[in-house]
Each structure stands twice: as C-alpha cells, then as structure tokens.
Chains A and B, each alone.
Chain A
Amino acid sequence: MSRAPTFHGIHRPESGYAIISRNLGFRWPAQASALTFPDIRLPQGESLFLRGPSGSGKSTLLSLLSGLSSLQAGEFHILGQAASILSRRQRDRLRADHMGVIFQQLNLVPYLNTLQNTLLPCTLSKTRRNQAHPSPADEARELLTALAIPESHWQLPITRLSLGQQQRVAAARALMGNPALILADEPTSALDATNRDRFVDLLLTQARKRQASVLLVSHDEALAPCFDHELSLEELP
C-alpha cells in the first residue's frame, strides 16, 4: 500500500522517506540566537528517537515538521512532498491526512469520549476516513483493544481514564486512519517506567504493523534502544 500523498502541481516526491530535512532553523521573536536542527532522513516505515534536553528545540522541530509553525530557514520533505513550500492551509491538510500527533500530556479533547477522541482524525479528514480499515469505527475498536483500553472505557469521558490510558488513547488517535507518519512529543514524560515501556512498545508495535514511520522526541535516553534510529540535538555543532 503506497502512502505517499499526491499533490498535483507541487514538487515530485523524494520517495522512500517519511522525513528529509536540511538546514532547518527557527528563531522565536524574543530569542537572541536561532535554533538550528540536525538534518533528518527517516525512511518510510522506520522509527527515529530524537533526544535532547529541555529547551533544545525538540517541540519547535516537531511544530515545523508537522506544519503547525512556518519555516524560517532550510527545507524539508514530508512523505516525498516539499512541505517547506506549502501554504499554511496545505500544511494543515497534509497533517490531517497523513500525520498522527501525540502531545506530552493533555492529549484528548475533553468533551469527546474515548471512542470519539480516537475517531477524531476521521472526523477531520476524508482521506483518513477512507484509509480506515475496514471502517473507522471498527479500526478504532481494534486500535483501542490493541492498546489495552478496556471496552468498558470506550464510552467514558476521558477524565475517567488514568494518565497512562489517556496517552494510549492519544496513540490510538494518532494511528487512526493509517497515517504514514507519527510525531510524538515526549509522550511518556508523565508516565512511570512500567507505563512508559508499555506505551512505547504498544505504539511502535502498532506503527510497524501499519508501516507508519515514527518520530519521537524525548529527554529519556532509556527509550533509545526501542527505535531504529537515534539522533541527538546535543550533537549539533
């Protein structure tokens, strides 16, 4: 199954890679010096662990790659598309159709229940809805089961779930509709060691099963062995 998105009239894909970035840089308005990021080449279907201490720009890098922030320097390709030249609207569409995103915490929409939160990407993207197999509802149930969310919790308000369960629901939401790329920003920082290992294991297992690429940033080096590739922001020159 090919996951490369097709954007007519835009750069031809650099096929085979989920992310290719070169010379990315970003400076916040109040910041004296610009953040610079290492070049990334993440093959499709593989996982990358990006480590770095607080303030090293991990979240900023994910904001750039996800298209939430506008690029100031460098270029990058997402799933073969020159994402750095896309408009904000096109970046939003690329993210909606082909990316799953997991935040550090407070990952779920408070007024939607577990199942509705999982189905959110299919609510916002027709592509994700069409890619859900066999149907969005069936895939959501399959994902929640695979990520160890008991069926009795599917209709519950998310405030009734534990933190670990909430993060696993966020992972289910990110994987919903078979996106080609999962971006996770310190998703285990609020979890204990047992829940952390369980979360990462479940996330990567499901991502590999679906041939999705994963870019996870964290300061927790203990996670590194679980990933195909590893990169450190501290290694910047």
Chain B
Amino acid sequence: MNLSAALRLSSASLWHRRGILALVTITLTLSVMLLLGIQYLRTEVRQSFTNTIANTDLIVGARSGQLNLLLYSVFHLGDATNNIRWSSYQSLKQDPLVAWTVPLSLGDSYQGYRVVGTDDNFLAYVQFGNGQSLELAAGQWFTQLFDVVLGAEVARAMAHQPGDDIVLAHGGGRVSFVNHNQTPFRVSGVLAATGTPIDRAVYVSLPGLEAIHVGWEAGVPLPGRTPSAAQLETMNLAPDSLTATLVGLKNRMMTFRLQRQLNQSPEEPLTAILPGVALSELWRLLGQFEKTLLGITGFVVVTSLIGLATVLLTLQVHRKQEVAILRAAGASPSLIASLYLLECLLLALLASGCALVIIYASIAASSDWLLQQFGLAIGVRPLDTTEWSILAGVPAAALLVGILPALRAWWRSRETQFGTTSTE
C-alpha cells in the first residue's frame, strides 16, 4: 500500500469536506481540550497543593487528627479543637533539636479572611512552592502593636494598601456581629501573591491579637473594661495559648524522634504531624473527585470520536463515486479502508494539536491573572508523561473508532462495479 498516496488523498479529501468536518473537529478539539486541560490543571493543582507549605518539618497543635490540624493550621479551614499552652510552646522553642518555630494563633477574621497572629519568624521561615520565601509586595512586615500585613488576595479583594485602617471581627465567620471597633489596625504591608492559603489571610502580631481581646469575656467586650489603644501599648500582652506552631529542625533526621516525643508529651496532649505526609493523605481524599472528573471527560472524548465515526459512516453514501473511481484506477480495498483510518487519525491529530495550542495560549495569557484574581499558580510547562499519554491516546482511540467505517469501506469497495460508479 502506498502510504504517501493515501496521505495525499486523505488530506485532499478532508480539505474537500472541511465544511462538515470542521464542526466534528471543533467538537473533538473542545473535548480534547477539556480532557487535557483537566489533567494539566490536576497536575498543577496537585503540585501547588503539595507545595502549599515548604521548609516546615513539623506542625504541632493540640491533640486531634492530622488532617484536622493540617486543615486549620495551613489551609485555615475549620477550627482547632483545643489550643496549646504558651508554656508548651516555649518548651518546644527551647528544645535543642528545634531550629525555629512559627507560632500561629487563629480565631478572628477580617471580612471572612482568617486573622493569623504570629511573629517575625513567619516572614523569615515560612516557605511555599519549591522553597520560595515570602516577600512583601508593598510596605513592610508589622512592627507596631496594631500593624497588620495582608495576604495578596485580601489586599486585592478589599482594595487595601499600606496606610489603610481596618477593623477585625471577633470569631472566624464571614459575617460577625462583634467587631474590634476600638482597636483598628493599620495596614503596614501586603505580601506578594503565592498561590497558597497565605494569600487569603491577614497577619498580626501575637501581642496585637492579645490586645484586642483584653477586657473581653465570652466573646463580647465588657463595658468599661476595655482599655484604650494607648493603655494597651504599655501592657504585658504575652498570650496564654496558641492554636498551632510550625517547627523547623536543625537536623531533619531527628524529625521522627521529635514527633514521637511531642505526641507522647506527658505535659500536654499534643499532635505533631509531618506536613508532606498529611498533604498527601488529604490529596488522596480530594484526588478521587478529580479522577472521576477525568473519567467523565474521557467519556466526552470517546463520545466525540464516535460522532466522528458516525459522520464518516454517513459520508460514505456520498463517496461511492469517489471510491469507484479510485478502485477503477487501481486502488485496492485496503487503500480505500486506509483512507478512512487516516482521515480519522489526521482529524484526531489536528484536534489534539489545536487543543494543545489553545491550552498553552490560554495558560500563557491568563497565568498572571489567575494568580492575582484566584491565587492559582498555573504556569506554562512541558507536558508530563501522563499528559503525553493522554494526548497520544486520542489519535489511538480515533484509529480504533475509525476501524468501523474503514471495514465497511473495505467490504463495499470489493464489490465496486462498472456502470454504477458506486460501491453498492
């Protein structure tokens, strides 16, 4: 069989029927885009997800499950079941195995965004992605009692900039009926976007967080007992407890030892988790949904390919004359069948190519916007093995569904006759 002849004929035939086949190709392109796009995003989101926190060896909180601790400390989802005592935190900080700690105190919110009470170590040690450090996009890290640093998304969504005053709300909900009106905070800086939950929180000092709760009881300010801001500046505002702490070790080989030591602490029931392990477990839970989504889009591609085969089968009626001429000119039934297979293959390759170009163009055009608007860090990168396999699977599946029209054409072209210029 002359492959080059078959390729030339198939290409010319496709171009001749471009009007009808364009719609099928668009459908196929969209479905391949969906399939490949979801896999691409899945990979990116997984990467982004597992890179949510880096450089941290342990997360320590009150006794709870590791997913719960991970969710409230890193993703700011849900609430801690209990706090850890300040004294326990101090002991941990003094532990000879520990290089640094980052205290995290949660509880309040600002317009639905979590308020995180922490210290300078947050900026110094917390990393994301592949070990990227936090940077300030504007202003500076908090230095005063009522300074606040905003995550990138908070600053964007609320249109704040350094110098603005904000009032925190008591409690973690989006809507709060009790605000810290007497103790407004001034925005001292805005963190650069990270594509992680860091962008969706506001950061104040631990004394600052303590200060706004002086004179409060049972979640409400006691009338006449809430000191002024000037009075608060002079008070000792060391916290009694923390929600959690991030821990970096001097020697990572000691991670399991310290984890075991903390989990078995006789002084206070604590839970120490390895962030990587907890993130993997969480991803396994979330991954099921994505696998299902990928499966569904796979079916969309298969449906499109079946649509392609159906169109080719329908077109066979109009191609009787062409097949008769080709047969009379010496084309074998195998060559006729190969035309159908090649047409399926060429259309699938075209659709896959278009889908790839559109996906890359879309990502290149929108990656900055996605990061700014949604905190999604999705960039252009070469396809990985799985994505190439999926892309290669499309032409392979097209060849498979092309077998039906090809077999039909092969069978009918064997019966070509003079006089009818048809295959029937």
Contact = CB atoms under 8 A, between A and B. Distances in A.
A125 interface: yes
A84 to B, nearest CB: 17
Interface string B403-419: 00000000000101111
A95 B322 contact: no
A124 B325 contact: no
Nearest to A97: B330
B12 interface: yes
B328 A103 contact: yes
A160 interface: no
B331 interface: yes
Interface residues of B, number: 29
Contacts of A108: 325
B179 interface: no
A99 B327 CA distance: 12
A88 B9 CA distance: 22
B15 A96 contact: no
Given A63-B417, A111-B13, A111-B16, A125 B330 contact: yes
Contact of A68 (B2, B9, B328): B328
Contacts of B328: 66, 68, 95, 101, 103
B284 interface: no
A97 to B, nearest CB: 7
B88 interface: no
Contacts of B2: 123-124
A68 B416 contact: yes
Contacts of A101: 328-329, 418
Contacts of A8: none
A104 interface: yes
A74 interface: no
A120 interface: yes
A164 interface: no
A23 interface: no
Nearest to A105: B421
Given A60-B418, A103-B421, A110 B330 contact: no
Interface string A96-127: 11010101111111111000100011011100
B326 interface: yes
Contacts of A121: 329-330
Contact of A59 (B330, B333, B418): B418
Contacts of B333: 88, 92
A183 B330 CA distance: 13
A123 B8 contact: yes
Contacts of A97: 330
Q: Which 5 A-B residue pairings sit nearest by Cβ, starting from the closest? A: A96-B330, A59-B419, A111-B16, A101-B328, A59-B418
Given A103-B328, A107-B325, 14 more contacts: A59-B419, A59-B420, A68-B328, A96-B329, A101-B328, A101-B329, A106-B321, A106-B421, A110-B321, A111-B16, A112-B12, A123-B8, A183-B418, A185-B419
